[in-house]
Amino acid sequence: MRVAISSGYSSIGSVGKMVLRDLLPVDLVILQSTSFCNIDCLYCDLSHFGRRTKSMMSLDLIERFFLELINSGRVHSDLKIVWHAGEPLTLPVVYYESAISLIVRLFETHAAGRFSVHFKIQTNAILIDNEWCAFFARHRERLDVGVSCDGPADMHDAFRRTRAGTATHAKTLRGMDLLARHGIKYKVIAVVTARALAAPKSFFDFFADRRQELSEFHFNIVAQADAGNADLAYGTVHRDLYYGFYRRLIALAEASRRRGAPFEIANFTHALTRISEAARPDALSWSEESSAPLRSITLDAHGHVSTFYAGIGRDTLEHHYGDGQGMALGNIWTMSFEELVQSEKLQRIRRDFRVSAQACERSCPYYAICPGGYDVTKQLTLGTFDTAETTECLVQVKALADALLDDIESHLERQPLETADDT
């Protein structure tokens, strides 16, 4: 018997709530300070051209965007700003000193006391040195550091290599060690590949051994199932493989907790929150909230603005909306933020996403606990928004939910025996 999941919504009620709630204030801004990257990961979402182009987001562009954003009145009181999508540390420390100073000054000047602003930099850690650590330490109250590392060397180096094909793990590890020596905690994001699936304990132990250095640990499954590489691609036949991987990580985390060395995996914590809250009558629709327009805004190095999901832009569904600009709504140099919000293109994308959400709600028993993010994937892989299941959501959401629900059930079944033993 599996724990039942209920969304607490009727079909009409959910769609109605989406219409009212989908223009949420902006609470996350992804800034692509540069699309250039110093390495060449096999699963990178950026185009080959983009990650070889030494672009730089100008301070004038930053000022233009944030003035527009502040003046629009569409900002959440707690705003998160993340430098990502490229390797941010290929630009010098002074660039980020200037950018942080500029953004803070804009908010203090034009919206004093109304907002808190927090920053994050996501890096491959290769370029971290004492100067970078001193910068992170100076701004530790308002700046977090995230590191991309896939685990032990054999897992990491198989996919995260330089353009010359050389390994990067030792350099990433050196950067992580420098952060630790300077007392700077960092979040790790790890991509799960066939190598991790084959050795979940080695994957787990690598990060658990560093738990005192970490502020958070999160793993990602490759975004597109059809990755063109046997060690990255997956299909519906792999659902049980991923389910087994999740169950093994859950067991390892539980064993670590029992030894007095707890190691939290954010994927499980977030999914358990969605499961525990799903039956509430006032429960959020997690999927609709995560893909609500404006909540997340991405600004690329040239001023193009996109929304719905972090990181999507002109390369995503490039020709679907007829302008060759993909999911970008327009450019902040030529349009005001409010013009972007009121644009016909945004309305078209909203209609497509509404069709996607309705399809999932009608037929997917996991809808109430789905974090969303698969609307574009449906169009890319199946050629339509009007469908409820992709290989990606099967592996990334359903297999994970099954693993957690089955773990909960096994604990409930054991509980009477454990209680009897305690007495």
Using 50, 70 and 90 to split pLDDT, how confident is the model at 82?
very high
**Closest to 321 measured CA to CA, from 357, 345, 340, 304:** 345
Percent of the chain as helix, strand, coil, to the nearest 5: 45, 15, 40
pLDDT of residue 70: 96
Q: Residue 145's beta-bridge partner residues?
A: 121, 186
> pLDDT at residue 1 above 70?
no
Least confident piece of the model among 47-61, 161-175, 312-326: 47-61
> pLDDT at residue 5 above 90?
no
Structure tokens at 226: 């059809």
Local structure of 31: helix, strand or coil: strand
pLDDT of residue 114: 87
Using 50, 70 and 90 to split pLDDT, how confident is the model at 291?
confident
Task: Look at 287 and 120; give whichever has higher pLDDT.
Answer: 120
Least confident piece of the model among 45-49, 117-121, 235-239: 45-49
pLDDT of residue 53: 78
pLDDT of residue 415: 66
> pLDDT at residue 62 above 80?
yes
Name the burial class of residue 60, with classes exposed (0-12), middle (13-18) and buried (19+) by CB atoms within 10 angstroms of its CB.
exposed
> pLDDT at residue 7 above 60?
no
pLDDT of residue 281: 77
For the chain, how far is it from start to end, CA to CA, in angstroms? 27
pLDDT of residue 18: 35
Task: Look at 411 and 117; give whichever has higher pLDDT.
Answer: 117
The fourth-level CATH superfamily of domain 25-223 is Aldolase class I (3.20.20.70)
Residue 183 falls in which region: left (phi positive, over 0), alpha (psi -120 to 50) or beta: left
> pLDDT at residue 16 above 80?
no
Residue listed under structure tokens 């530790």: 140
What's the Cα-to-Cα distance from 423 to each of 45, 253, 411, 412, rounded to whole Å? 55, 27, 18, 18
* Region 120-148 average pLDDT: 98
Q: Residue 331's beta-bridge partner residues?
A: 304
Q: Which helix (H) or strand (E) holds 72?
A: helix 59-72
Local structure of 351: helix, strand or coil: helix
What's the Cα-to-Cα distance from 295 to each of 142, 357, 408, rounded to whole Å? 20, 17, 32
Q: For the chain, how many residues are written?
A: 423
pLDDT of residue 34: 95
pLDDT of residue 6: 32
* Region 6-22 average pLDDT: 33
> pLDDT at residue 416 above 70?
no
Q: Which helix (H) or strand (E) holds 214?
A: strand 214-221
Local structure of 83: helix, strand or coil: strand
Structure tokens at 28: 């996350």
Residue 393 half-sphere exposure, CB side, CA atoms within 13 Å?
A: 22
pLDDT of residue 113: 83
> pLDDT at residue 413 above 50?
yes
CB of 397 within 8 A of CB of 366? yes
CB of 7 within 8 A of CB of 32? no
Q: List the strands of the sheet with 116-123, edge to edge.
A: 214-221, 186-192, 143-148, 116-123, 75-83, 26-31, 296-299, 304-307, 330-331
- Per-residue model confidence as pLDDT tens digits over 371-402: 988 999 999 999 999 999 999 999 999 999 99
3 secondary structure, DSSP code: P
Distance, in Å, from the CA atom of 41 to the CA atom of 62, rounded to the nearest integer, reads 28
* Region 32-56 average pLDDT: 85
- Per-residue model confidence as pLDDT tens digits over 236-269: 999 999 999 999 999 999 999 999 999 999 999 9
What's the Cα-to-Cα distance from 404 to each of 7, 220, 244, 246, rounded to whole Å? 18, 17, 11, 8
**Average pLDDT in the chain:** 90
Distance, in Å, from the CA atom of 317 to the CA atom of 327, rounded to the nearest integer, reads 7
> pLDDT at residue 147 above 80?
yes
- The DSSP line for 260-325 is T-----HHHHHHHHHHHHTTSTT---HHHHHT-TTTEEEE-TTSEEEESSTT--TTTTTTTTSSS-
> pLDDT at residue 167 above 90?
yes
